[in-house]
Structure formats: C-alpha cells, structure tokens
Amino acid sequence: MTVPLLCFPFAGAGASFFTPWQRYDLKATRVHPVQLPGRERRLDDPPFPDVFTAVESLAGELVAQADLSPGPVALFGHSFGAVLAYEMARHLRERHGIPVAHLFVSGSAGPTTRREAGATGLPDEEFLARVREFAGYDHPTMADPELLELLLPTLRSDVEMHEAYVSTAKDPLDAPITSVRGLDDALVSSEQAAQWETATRSGFRLEELPGGHMYLTEYPGPLLKLIDDELKAWA
C-alpha cells in the first residue's frame, strides 16, 4: 500500500510544480498534487478569499476521490502551502474522520506566527520585489510579461491569504509533524520552523536540508527520501 501525499504549492504556483515528483521511485508515497483555482487548468476560476474557505472547498473535492478515503493520508505544503496543508489535515481528520499519517510543513513558521513584512496592497513593482525578497527566488513566469499579467492576481490573492492567516485551532493536531527548512533560509529561521512542535500531540521532528527558502525547487530528492522513509511505516 502507498500513502497518498496531498501536495499544496507555494504562493502563485500550481499543481504542475509537483508533477516531476511523481517520477521518483518512491516506495511508500503516492504524490497527489492539489490544484488551486486561478492557475493552470483552473485559470478561469476565482481564487479563494481566505485559507479556511480554500480548505472547506478543496476538501469536498479531495474526499470525493476514492483513493483518498478512508485514508490514511499524508500532507505536504511549502510556505503558503504549509498553512493550507495544516488546516486541511485538521479538516480531514475532524470533519471527515480520515486518519492523517503525517503532516510535512516546509519553509514555514508555526501557524500562530504572522509574517512581519507584508506585501499585501503594495503597487505591482513593489509587490513583486517584496515577493522576490521573501522567497529569494524568481518564479519563471515573472520573466514573461504576458504570463505575469495572468498570474499576478492569483499571486496577490495567495500572498494576501497567507499574510492574513491566523490559526484558530484550540487543540494540537493528532498526527505527527515534520518541519523542514533550507539551511540557508533567510526568511524562516530554525526557531520559527521549530514552532510547529506546539501544533501536534503526536510527535515532532525538525529537519534542515541544503539550500535557501526555495531549496525544493533545485533538487527535491532529499526531501522526497525524507518523506518516503517516514511513510514506510504505513505502507
């Protein structure tokens, strides 16, 4: 048996970011990219207004898929995707009774910490400069003016959702959490990545891999090995 790994993208990215992950020889993990509206095949769909609406809507789609029920499932998210993955893990377990094998959060401070330097509401050039500063990474779309024009509203929406997010959870998640960061991440410190320990009652690990905030865009192999090794207990 393999465990489906629901993968939530960073701000502005789509499910296709995770498509290459499906070609890795994983023993226990079945990579399942989650597509958000406002991009790729869902380009014409309006973006979600907030994280909780996103989770409520996406959960209905995911639960309807036979290979995700009755579980267990694992979840992965990077940066903005980390809070989506966390809230989805809570939602699937509490509202649908689907067991969560593991939550992997990447490049993210804990769910009760808000980003200090905001980009929401800035003019386009300042907004894009701030996003580049946050991530230390240029999304390839940013170099194409026509594609950027299409992506910008979605990127703005994702960033605004991320910056407005505050966890409302009263109890720790009943599933283990692994928090991952790049060793050279200038946006999320080790201390911030370790904040996820208080979000679970079922075990916590902090892992650091080579690279900066967007370490997973260069070579995801070590990250996928880490995930697959963890999920082998469920296979």
Please, what are the domains in the chain? 3-112+166-234 (3.40.50.1820)
b (16+ CB within 10 A) / e for 52-73: eebbeebbeebbeeeebeebbb
Q: Residue 123: its pLDDT value, please?
A: 73
Give the gyration radius of the chain's Cα atoms.
Answer: 17
Indicate if 57 belongs to the active site: no
Pick the catalytic residue: 78, 102, 162, 213? Answer: 213
Indicate if 167 belongs to the active site: no
For residue 178, the surrounding DSSP H or E stretch is strand 177-182
For residue 182, the surrounding DSSP H or E stretch is strand 177-182
Q: Residue 48: its pLDDT value, please?
A: 87
10-residue mean pLDDT series, the chain (235 residues):
93 90 95 90 86 92 74 93 96 92 96 75 74 67 71 84 88 96 93 96 96 91 97 88
Pick the catalytic residue: 79, 106, 108, 179? Answer: 79
Q: Residue 234: its pLDDT value, please?
A: 87
Q: Residue 40: its pLDDT value, please?
A: 80
Q: Residue 38: its pLDDT value, please?
A: 81
What pTM was computed for the model? 0.92
Q: Residue 29: its pLDDT value, please?
A: 96
Q: Residue 66: its pLDDT value, please?
A: 54
Q: Residue 208: its pLDDT value, please?
A: 98
